[in-house]
Amino acid sequence: MAKTIITCAITGAIHTPTMSDALPINSEMIYEQAVEAAHAGAAILHLHARNPDNGAPSINPDHFMEFLPRIKAETDAIVNISTGGSLSTGIEERMAPALRASPEMCSLNMGSLNFAMHPLADRYKTWKYDWEEAYVRGSEGNIFRNTFEDIGKVAETLGKAHGCRFEHECYDVGHLYNLKFCVDQGMFTAPVFLQFVMGILGGIAANIDNLVFMKHTADRLFGDDYRWSVIGAGAAQMRLGAVAAQMGGNVRVGLEDSLFIERGKLATSNAQQVRKMRDILEMQGNEIATPDEARASLALKGAANVTF
Ligand code: KMH
Ligand code: ZN
């Protein structure tokens, strides 16, 4: 069985500062936790930025450049920059950080969907920052736009012009068919890297039946020409990761998608989640991929070819 690639998604755009003191909300925290997660065994760092003034999700390339060179100087991990960091702006703005940095990898969301976290808001009575409650409650009305035209722009600019390869985020089975269509159009080359995103309100639920269904569908569509990984958002994070690794897949952890280390207990850092996932995987006989092993498996351009 191939070695297991651990991706760690350090901060994302779902959770807000009130929800956990461990959530990185500025460039210094992102840098520190990313380096620690890499040293704990994450081969890929999936990165968003935050506005240092108030901890809000940011797609300002300047905010990314505050931590990218420092992470590169201290780790050999693969840097993966999000192109999905805002639910309220178009793909042009969302691509800007990756265009500045020309990373080895970017996220690419494979379809439009409702993307909601408003039920989380009822857990909190007071909020650290003014923007948070409206942001979380307002997601009830969110459409996360990722049309074929949007996907095509990312493929042309970041893919063809910059040689970036993608974490194709698939939130439901239909997104696998969207990707198959794009591959057949010549927009992406094998091996594509699929991220099964399970447990987001608006996408497929996080359970083993659905994981097997996603995997079987991907097998039918892509044969042997793909790699895959799973996000079990929220409480399913460790459980689905463990099962995916046994099925030959890879795993993503990180505070972007779950703030917890076990039921009812907040994680103290991203690295704590990486270490727990790593321990589970090693106990069940999976070997962990190094960054260079992940580069070879995903056919990446190499860390020497980025612009940060
Ligand atoms: N937090 C994931 C469910 C992106 O960065 O492009 C969504 C995500 C999107 O990772
Ligand atoms: Zn993300």
pLDDT digits (tens, 9 = 90+) for 265-297: 999 999 999 999 999 999 999 999 999 999 999
Q: Which two tokens stand for residue 9?
A: 């998604």
Average pLDDT over residues 8-22: 98
CB distance 272 to ligand 1 below 6 Å: no
Cα of 11 from ligand 2 centre, angstroms: 8
Residue 1 alpha carbon to ligand 1 centre in Å:
27
Q: How far apart are CA 189 and CA 182, in angstroms?
A: 10
User: What's the pLDDT tens digit per position in 169-183?
Assistant: 999 999 999 999 999
Mark the residues whose beta carbon lies below 5 A from ion ligand 2: 12, 82
Alpha carbon of 21 to ligand 1 centroid (Å): 21
Q: So where are the chain's domains?
A: 6-305
Regarding the beta carbon of 107 and ligand 1, being less than 6 Å apart is answered yes
120 in ligand 1 pocket by Cβ < 6 Å? no
| Pairwise CA distance, residues 275 & 151, whole Å | 34
**Residue 1: band (very low, low, confident or very high) from pLDDT cuts 50, 70, 90:** confident
Q: Does ligand 1 have an atom closer than 6 angstroms to the CB of 291?
A: no
Ligand 2 centre to CA of 191 (Å) is 21
Exposure string for 20-51, b = 16+ CB within 10 A, e = fewer? bebbbbbbebbbbbbbbbbebbbbbbbbbbbb
DSSP one-letter string for 66-78? TTHHHHHHH--PE
Confidence of residue 210 (pLDDT cuts 50, 70, 90): very high
Among 3.30.70.20, 3.40.50.1100, 2.30.30.100, 3.20.20.70, name the CATH number for the domain at 6-305: 3.20.20.70
Q: Which of 11, 89, 93, 256 to mutate to test the pocket of ligand 1 (most atoms within 8 A of CB)?
A: 256
Q: What is the mean pLDDT of residues 119-144?
A: 97
Which ligand 1 atom minimizes the distance to the CA of 14? 1
Residue 170: beta bridge partners? 196
Backbone angles phi, psi at 268, to 5 degrees: -90, -15
Ligand 1 atom closest to the CA of 85, numbered from 1: 5
Residues 58-101 have pLDDT tens digits of 999 999 999 999 999 999 999 999 999 998 899 999 999 999 99
- Burial code of 136-170, b = ≥16 C-beta within 10 A, e = fewer? bbbbeebebbbeeebbebbbebbbeebebbbbbbb
For 128, the 3-state DSSP assignment is: coil
279 Cα–ligand 1 center, Å: 25
User: Mean pLDDT in the chain?
Assistant: 98
236 pLDDT tier (thresholds 50, 70, 90): very high
